[in-house]
Amino acid sequence: METSLNTIVEERFKYLFEEELLSKIASSGQFKTVSEGDLLMTIGQKISHMPLILSGSLKVMTEDEKGDDLLLYYLEWGDTCAMTFSCCSKKTVSSINVIAEEKSEILLIPIENMELWMAKFSSWRNFVLESYNSRFSEMLKSIDSLAFDNMDQRLKKYLRDKALIARGADLIITHADIANDLHSSRVVISRLMKKLEIEGIIKQRRNLVEVLEFKG
């Protein structure tokens, strides 16, 4: 696995990091394959590693005061959840849930290594800081959308983001799944999905939504 992992890390990140750092990432990271729906991190969990995504995508969520899930943003290959590092650097616990959006391959980087690399490698420091800024911006957009956008605007953005993550028009998803992610009810989502279908934005079949903007 070591030779294979070295190759994977170099292919994914050679445009970002120098050879010495690539070697350290491959040798210290814990390779893990996760399936759709697997929970990688939970709110309140003590954090010892930060995920570096090699393939697939992850969904980052938090909870409201009632314990209901709120979608914050997605992570794709090449991304990392720098919010995790922020928690660890302050020696706190996770304030987010991280769930596999699809089958994914990740590399779990020990926090103590990350702290050393932040001091030693400017490329890693820039990567983490840029990731943090990007994720923070996405989180603010999600909060703004929740506070100010009506549900049909949020639904359109949600479906478009899902199609971008899936790199295709076809989404295998139920109305209940969408309602859960958008903090709404299945009845409301079903009504709005029918409206979008009439408007020619989507097509629906059982447990399948086709986002026509992304149809090749």
pLDDT bin (cut points 50, 70, 90) of residue 129 is confident
Same domain, 164 and 111: no
Which candidate, 62, 50, 59, 61, places its Cα nearest to that of 106?
50
Question: Angle at CA 138, nearest 5°, toward 100 and 96?
Answer: 45
pLDDT at 77: 78
Range of the domain at 100: 31-147
Same domain, 159 and 203: yes
Dist CA 181 CA 203 (whole Å):
20
Same domain, 153 and 134: no
pTM, entire model: 0.70
Same domain, 197 and 114: no
Same domain, 199 and 177: yes
3-class DSSP assignment, residue 103: coil
CATH number at residue 158: 1.10.10.10
The CA distances from residue 150 to 136, 147, 205, in Å, are: 22, 9, 25
Residues 172-186: tens digit of each pLDDT:
999 999 998 888 888
Task: Please state the domain count of the chain.
Answer: 2
The answer to whether residue 2 sits within a structural domain is no
Please indicate whether residue 87 or residue 205 has the higher confidence score (pLDDT): 205
CATH number at residue 69: 2.60.120.10
